[in-house]
Structure 1
């Protein structure tokens, strides 16, 4: 077995090789303060451990770490360990079917990491909601912010933070990864209501406030609550406005754009769709995008919404015609 000093040197050598560049042997020797012959011996030791290190010949020579046929021991710095743990916990939101393997990998990671990192990761807890097609671009959040929010959730401490131009006092309930962003779900003490806050917009203040007794979410779980809020619903993961119409288009043309709607084939040129939205006007506008004749089956609120939308569109067209250069008589 290599001595402790040799082991430390091997780890330093491996850390340099993992940067992905090719290192001249003389540069490695200088970086590690060892002789070039010792560099060659240490490279051989790493090869015996399973690392595929390629050597290039020439006046200066060089070493490069390539992919091998077996998985060798890996070396991560502190930030990489935290990033890896967050990624493993977030696998439930990928839909890749690797939840069990990710959980085992996370357990293994926790068992071998030093106590300083284990303490940080134990404070990190969140729910990942699967991404949907068309979700926004991923927004980066500092791992330290996520850890601080998770710690407050676990400790049940009121937190204060700047959010835009406002100071918020919140009882934190859960950290959530959803629709390509990170959110804090909590009870807003000033507004007396449940709110979701984008974590990338939170600027935490210290110290934290007093402990609190957690409240019950108005939904079966935090995933249903957040998904419902995105839909504009106070009742969990369901649309507040749901209607059914007949579209004068074949079902095959509608299915690709139906989202979570239910489409029924009614013949070669007709189909029905039952779908929801956050308001009746929004639902009428969404159905209008199919660019065809529409018959409302239910409810009456949707019929009235089409009338309101038609009146608004007519008024918009009238105003636009008046303001467009060259539209006046005799112009």
Structure 2
């Protein structure tokens, strides 16, 4: 490859990396003068890449959008990142496996031999421990409808499979929300939205959302409930699978704040605020002893509500810790 061709590839990669570049900045990155940058920009235009430029001494360049835009250019690191993302996508979004596989095949075909070998040796499989649950997959159609409503700033109407429905409510009216932001935490997709009926901010699990027909109603964005929306989602009580998905589950009242418990409780925790420094925690685990130990990790007094197996496990665990403490004193 000639120096000019290599420089054009680098220039194209730089233009794709951010919305706009000043001419002197491009010249510095390419190791040439501004006049050479202008010539290279003209060469890219001749190849069919629509590069827009502002006029004057402070000229800036940006890669325009258009139906005739040639295929995007990926450097080695970008290609590997895209390939890994395509392998992981079907694990969280149902209905995307075939499309992701076709996209990966397309990218692989145009890779140099060295990169192709690297991708072939990086086969990714997600594995969980026996006491963990995979994040429930999200339907691709539902995710597309929700993300489209966020982008359009359009009121979203949907049915929601919430915990109260699982408890026996045969029917619940559809929810109407102003969708603000989509984010992924711990492998789960969440929607932060303003509930128009409850008149408050809420967080919804996207895997529980079944969108209805588009409303066509636009809204003006509100001030978000927090500057850090990731932290806001982490502070919510219902973040994981339902507690009864575990082999053992129980509940206790803890003498500490619900916000602290909601932040650090493992997936599946259900937290109910009972006061400024008091909350009810429903939790699941792989064994009764394991469950008893989890309740003790919050460094707070607690009262077990049930079931009896959890009460017995707490008593057994107390004896084990007492014996362990006595053994340590005897050896010191």
> TM-score scaled to structure 2, two decimals?
0.42
Bigger radius of gyration among the two = 1
> TM-score scaled to structure 1, two decimals?
0.42
